[in-house]
Each structure stands twice: as structure tokens, then as C-alpha cells.
Amino acid sequence: MIVSDQEFEKLLASFESEAIHLETRDAYGTEVELPYMARWAAGEPDDLEWLQGWCATLREHAAADRVARRARIVSEPLSNYQRWSHSIAHPMVDAGEDIRWVPRRLLTVPGRVILLPANDFYVFDGRLVVFLTYAGNGLAREKIGSTDPQDIARCINAFESIWQFAVPHRDYSPI
């Protein structure tokens, strides 16, 4: 099933206990982020006001004991996108999102190869997985939802498999 942007926004705002999010790309190009990343690349200041709506949602989740976890699988040295992303993550972490970084090299150790879904995803409350698809240039395409128990279990298993190697945002030093 296709998940509209409005439906997705509602899921982000109204999950009941936990949302997990796996990011696997080294670069994205979301229309919202591109202008801010360009300012960062030019060395211009950013007050991060544009993130405040998401941070307010995260604070509401944290106050209600709802958990938001995000794992970012990254190549090192980090891409410019991921360096920028690291530089703006503090407000989200302060608001209650547990963002962690997973160097890609840690997932392909012989005897410990971790297989992952082909697309980034969110799992909401262990009941719905939403796969995020992107064009080659990093722009978001469509969101595909599934309530199939096997899809959900595979995604949760993949997420938890890499979470054990994930470095909390405050402890991760970009390379």
C-alpha cells in the first residue's frame, strides 16, 4: 500500500509506544533539507528553527514515554550530507530521539555479515513498516507500507542486529 505524505506525518506524530527508523544511504536530497545543507556548505549560520516542529513532536513523545530510535548506517569518511546531518542532530537528541551512527565497516565482518532490507524504513509500534524509496539523486519518491508480520519481523530483526553496533550520537566522532 502507498502511504501518503499526510498519512506518514500522522504516523510520526501519533505512534503509541515506539518508532524505529533505519537510514542506509550516504546522501539524501530532501527538498526541505537542501537549502539548509547549502548554507552549511557555504559556512553560513543556521539557527535550526526549521527543525523545531519535529523537536516539539519528539519532546511530546518523550514526555509520554514513547520511544523514537534512529540508526544511521554510514560510510567513512562521512559524505558531506552525513557530516551536515551530524552537525544538526543535537537538537533532536536533546528532544528525545535516540540517534545512533553505525559505521558500515562494522556490518561486514566475516562471520558477522548483517543483511538489511533494500530500502530505509520506519516500524511503528511493531505493527506497520513503511519503506522509504528514493531516486538516485536522493530525492524522496514514495512510501510503501506493509502490515505483513514477516516484513515487520524482518525489519525489526535487521534494526536490532545493527543497533548493537550503533554508537550514540554524543559519542560518535565523524571521520
Q: What is the CATH number of the domain that holds 68?
A: 3.30.870.10
Which residue is it, cell 543483511? Answer: 115
For residue 151, which amino acid is it? Answer: D
Residue indicated by cell numbers 516500524: 123
Per-residue pLDDT, 25: 95
Closest CA to 100 of 37, 20, 16, 12: 20
Are 80 and 33 spatial neighbours (Cβ–Cβ below 8 Å)? no
- Between 159 and 29, the higher pLDDT residue: 159
Question: What's residue 108's pLDDT?
Answer: 87
Amino acid at 162: I
Longest dimension (CA), the chain: 46
What does pLDDT average to over the chain?
95
**Which value, to the nearest 10 degrees, does the dihedral of the CA atoms of residues 148, 10, 21, 47 take?**
170
Supply the pLDDT for residue 30.
77
Three-state DSSP at 25 gives coil
**Which of 19-28, 102-111, 117-126 is predicted with the least confidence, judged by mean pLDDT?**
102-111
Write out the residue range of the structural domain in which residue 73 sits: 2-171
Model confidence at 59: pLDDT above 90: yes
Q: Is the pLDDT of residue 11 over 80?
A: yes
Q: How high is the pLDDT of residue 103?
A: 96
Confidence of residue 139 (pLDDT cuts 50, 70, 90): confident
State yes or no: pLDDT of 35 exceeds 80.
yes
- Tell whether the model's pLDDT for residue 122 goes beyond 90: yes
Indicate the number of domains in the chain.
Answer: 1
d(CA 2, CA 146) in angstroms, rounded, equals 9
For the chain, how big is the Rg over CA atoms in Å?
16
When mean pLDDT is compared across 6-15, 59-68, 95-104, 106-115, the lowest value belongs to 106-115
Q: Lowest mean pLDDT: which of 4-18, 84-98, 135-149, 154-168?
A: 135-149
User: Is residue 29's pLDDT more than 80?
Assistant: no
What is the reported pLDDT for 32? 83
